Structure 1
Amino acid sequence: MMVIVYGCFFACGLACIVLQIIAQRTRTDPSIGNNPQFLKFQRSYFAVYLLAMFADWLQGPYLYKLYSYYNFEEDQIAILYVFGFASTVIIGMWAPLAADQFGRKKLCLSFTVLYSLSCFLKLSRSYGILIIGRIIGGVATSVLFSAFEAWYVHEHIETFDFPKEWISVTFSKASTWNGFLAVTAGLVTNIFAEWFDLGPVAPYMLAVPFLIFAGILVSTHWSENYSGSKVKFKRACVDGWKGILSKEIIFMVGVIEALFESVIYIVIFLWTPVLQPLRPSLGIVFSSFMVCILSGQAVYQILSSRRFDTSNLLISACGIALASNVFLVLSTNPVNRKDLNCETSYVAFLLFEFAVGIYFPAMGNLRSKIIPEQHRWSITNWFRVPINLIACVVLMLLHEDEFRHGNRMIFVICTGLLMLAVLCGVRFKKLAEKDESVQEERTLMTSEHIHNIF
């Protein structure tokens, strides 16, 4: 298994490098956003954001292993994951408003404190304290994925008055660097946890200095900013709900997102116990997953630059993920644990992560085109509710007797969810084509009307 893990890591890494080089050539004019003042501002943001993200990635590979090391059963570990997911979605709906009203810099500082605290709480073997740590970690994660981006956008537009088009340049660079940091984090955790034999708690202690350093940079180099207008939480939620129900195409985006991303959350929990029988290097496995995601992103970039339809790419991502889960159903047959085909499971997970790499940029592109900007925050938050709800319900099934002696039935459920995602993707494509034809018809009618006037 170790030979396969390391072999797949190097093979996937080489393929990723080639794909990234090809994708780099397809990107927009590199001269865009080359203003020296902009680059300086960009670096000040990256210095903090990438430190925070690296600290977050360090906590990915060994979470399940840590709880298992403390002698908790699989169903008990599932509950810990559920608390983390639930706190993320509950606080995630409130975090952007809190950042706007109380100050984005303050919230970014609170992230470094809360996430450091959640790391320290993982030193405890108490189940109750570990639950508290998961809740605090979920709150911190919500802040990480809302306050930092909000701070940057405000400074970019309001303080420095840079062109709005340059925002995507920064986020594109951040996404690329974030991917490489994720790969690096897996390697680093593997070195400290396994090669240095410091145990599965070592990555969490390693994350704390990065969080502290990020907090120092925020407090010394970032200025405070607030929202110019006060948004009422209840009104925003109501408007978002109305926006979802106003158009079937928006509703369908939410359904696909809920189905696909809930499976991502389930896989995040399951990959460690599925591969654990052969004792792989979890950090290397994690890095392999991140390399596959980067490869998927590069493939999306290459194909979209050649004008491949984004809807087709989204359906393809769902189809590839579906195929990987079918393989996982076959490779996790619990009849005879000794005959579990972990090698097949590992390759299936790699395939799934490749699909994830295609899915996120495709979904992000479609969301930006279809969801009205004024309601994007509230609609996106509504989408996250079923994602976490489905993941929590499926993980809670581990308490049921028929699920306790193997994860095959969980993957059967994931397969069903992804089949629905593919069908919804086909329906979405038809709706998108219909919308485009309506838009073209309206444009043609407007042109004819102008032509008649003149």
Structure 2
Amino acid sequence: MLVTAYLAFVVLLASCLGLELSRCRAKPSGRACSNPSFLRFQLDFYQVYFLALAADWLQAPYLYKLYQHYHFLEAQIAILYVCGLASTVLFGLVASSLVDWLGRKKSCVLFSLTYSLCCLTKLSRDYFVLLVGRALGGLSTALLFSAFEAWYIHEHLERHDFPTEWIPATFARAAFWNHVLAVAAGVAAEAVACWMGLGPVAPFVAAIPLLALAGALALHNWGENYDRQRAFSRTCAGGLRCLLSDRRVLLLGTIQALFESVIFIFVFLWTPVLDPHGAPLGIIFSSFMAASLLGSSLYRIATSKSPGQESPVESFIAFLLIELACGLYFPSMSFLRRKVIPETEQAGVLNWFRVPLHLLACLGLLVLHDSDRKTGTRNMFSICSAVMVMALLAVVGLFTVVRHDAELRVPSPTGEPYTPEL
């Protein structure tokens, strides 16, 4: 298993580098890339945002292992994961309103503080303290995926008056480097936890200086901005109306809930499946992220042109395929959400999307350990397969609805809509 993990990591990383290098050679530089003011502004944003992302990814490979190291039962670990997901749902519903009320810069600094506290709770073996840590992690996650983007968009449009069409370029580059940071974070986590012999709590301690630096840079370099506060009830009501009135949005939400709930369950399952076979968890995680990066690269190339449980190797390969699918899925969903959901209703609609998503994941984790471990894991993978089939049916339904919609066709390199041959 050890050799397989390192070999897969090297092969995936080499594949990603090859695809990205070939893509960069063929991609012409745009006007935005040569604008000095825009590049300085991007750098100010990336310095803080990438530190925050790196700290987040650094904690991922050894979370389950840490709880296991503290001798908690799998059912207890499942409850900790459910607590984290539930807090993400609850705080996610109010995150946009909180950010508007508090201010985007202050919210980013608050993220650094709450996530640092979350990391510090990992030093305790007390179950209640760890539950509090998971709740703080949910708040931090909600802020990470709302405050930073909101701050950037406001500064881009209102303070600097850069063209709106430059915004996707910033977040496309951020998405690429997010994958790169995730790959590097897995290797770093493996280094501090295993190679240096500091144990599974080490990655969480190592994340604290990154969070502190991110908060300090935001406090020193960023200006504060606010937005018109929209009542939480209006945000939810508007999102629900949009969800129910447009069949495309409803199908998109169904796909997201089904697919991403399986991903959340996978995040819980991969460690107990592979760890007993001596898998290097940090390298395994980096391989997953490299597979996801490869999927994203394939997506960009495609759009720019006309499990058995007995073998750990087979399980690892299956997990890599899941991450490859994630790399294809997330940029595709991002494109569809921008086209299908009105910008004014996106916050409310996405809040409604997340509710069934996290509920399905929580129910899956609770049911998982209601039976024998081996049988429960096998049954859960079977259920996840069925859920993915349902997601596929929803994809077919969405394709049927939008197949003649020219707005949803991916632009070709010449700027004309690209229609795949059927």
Q: TM-score range by the shorter chain?
A: over 0.9
Q: Distance in 2 between matches of 1:294 and 1:416?
A: 26
Q: Distance in 2 between matches of 1:393 and 1:404?
A: 18
Counterpart for residue 99 of structure 2 = 99
Query: Secondary structure of the equivalent of 2:32?
Result: coil
Counterpart for residue 382 of structure 2 = 412
Counterpart for residue 169 of structure 2 = 169
Counterpart for residue 296 of structure 2 = 297
Closer/same/farther in 2, CA of residues 405 and 438 from structure 1, 3 Å limit = closer
Q: Distance in 1 between matches of 2:407 and 2:388?
A: 28
* Residues paired across the two proteins, number: 409
Shift in Å, 1:23 = 3.0
Counterpart for residue 117 of structure 2 = 117
Q: Distance in 1 between matches of 2:128 and 2:336?
A: 41
1:149 aligns with 2:149: yes
Contact 2:339 2:408 in 1 (8 A): no
Shift in Å, 1:283 = 0.4
Counterpart mapping for 1:207-356 below 5 A: 207-227=207-227, 229-307=228-306, 327=307, 331-332=308-309, 340-356=310-326
Counterpart for residue 56 of structure 2 = 56
Shift in Å, 1:100 = 1.2
Counterpart for residue 363 of structure 1 = 333
Q: What code does the residue aligned with 2:303 have?
A: S
Contact 2:92 2:142 in 1 (8 A): yes
Query: Secondary structure of the equivalent of 1:407?
Result: helix
Q: What code does the residue aligned with 2:236 have?
A: C
Contact 1:97 1:233 in 2 (8 A): yes
> Which TM-score applies when normalising by structure 1?
0.88
Counterpart mapping for 1:378-397 below 5 A: 378-397=348-367
Deviation by residue 1:186-236 (Cα, 9 ceiling, x = unmatched): 001101100111000000000000111111111111111000x22011011
Q: Distance in 2 between matches of 1:82 and 1:117?
A: 19
Contact 2:339 2:407 in 1 (8 A): no
Contact 1:74 1:398 in 2 (8 A): no
1:373 aligns with 2:372: no
Query: Secondary structure of the equivalent of 2:403?
Result: helix
Shift in Å, 1:28 = 5.7
Deviation by residue 1:350-400 (Cα, 9 ceiling, x = unmatched): 011000000001111111111111111110111011110000000001341
Contact 1:26 1:305 in 2 (8 A): no
Which stretches in structure 1 are left out of the alignment for 5+ residues?
Answer: 308-326, 333-339, 440-454
Contact 1:398 1:404 in 2 (8 A): no
Q: Distance in 1 between matches of 2:202 and 2:378?
A: 31
Counterpart for residue 194 of structure 1 = 194
Q: What code does the residue aligned with 2:337 have?
A: R
Deviation by residue 1:229-275 (Cα, 9 ceiling, x = unmatched): 22011011111111111021110000001000001100011000010
Counterpart for residue 417 of structure 2 = none
Higher alpha-carbon deviation: 23-32 or 67-76: 23-32
Shift in Å, 1:438 = 13
Closer/same/farther in 2, CA of residues 437 and 234 from structure 1, 3 Å limit = closer
Contact 1:397 1:403 in 2 (8 A): no
Higher alpha-carbon deviation: 421-430 or 27-36: 27-36
Deviation by residue 1:124-180 (Cα, 9 ceiling, x = unmatched): 101111000000011011101100110011111111111111111111111111111
Q: Distance in 1 between matches of 2:32 and 2:230?
A: 33
Q: Distance in 2 between matches of 1:438 and 1:195?
A: 48
Q: What code does the residue aligned with 2:125 have?
A: R
Contact 1:23 1:299 in 2 (8 A): no
Counterpart for residue 401 of structure 2 = 431
Q: What code does the residue aligned with 2:290 have?
A: V
Counterpart for residue 84 of structure 1 = 84
Where in structure 1 do 4 or more consecutive aligned residues deviate above 6 Å? none
Counterpart for residue 6 of structure 2 = 6
Deviation by residue 1:79-127 (Cα, 9 ceiling, x = unmatched): 1000101111110121111111211111111111000001000101011
Structure ID, larger Rg: 1
Contact 2:368 2:376 in 1 (8 A): no
Query: Secondary structure of the equivalent of 2:78?
Result: helix
Which stretches in structure 2 are left out of the alignment for 5+ residues?
Answer: 410-422
Deviation by residue 1:267-323 (Cα, 9 ceiling, x = unmatched): 01100001012111100000001101110000000001114xxxxxxxxxxxxxxxx
Closer/same/farther in 2, CA of residues 133 and 344 from structure 1, 3 Å limit = same
Contact 1:106 1:224 in 2 (8 A): yes
Q: What code does the residue aligned with 1:174 have?
A: A
Contact 1:22 1:302 in 2 (8 A): no
Q: Distance in 1 between matches of 2:375 and 2:356?
A: 27
Q: Distance in 2 between matches of 1:38 and 1:277?
A: 49
Contact 1:112 1:215 in 2 (8 A): yes
Q: Distance in 1 between matches of 2:27 and 2:247?
A: 32
Shift in Å, 1:29 = 3.6
Shift in Å, 1:436 = 4.7
Counterpart for residue 322 of structure 1 = none
Shift in Å, 1:401 = 2.2
Higher alpha-carbon deviation: 172-181 or 280-289: 172-181
Identity of aligned residues (%): 47
Closer/same/farther in 2, CA of residues 405 and 416 from structure 1, 3 Å limit = closer
Q: Distance in 1 between matches of 2:168 and 2:69?
A: 42
Closer/same/farther in 2, CA of residues 6 and 361 from structure 1, 3 Å limit = same
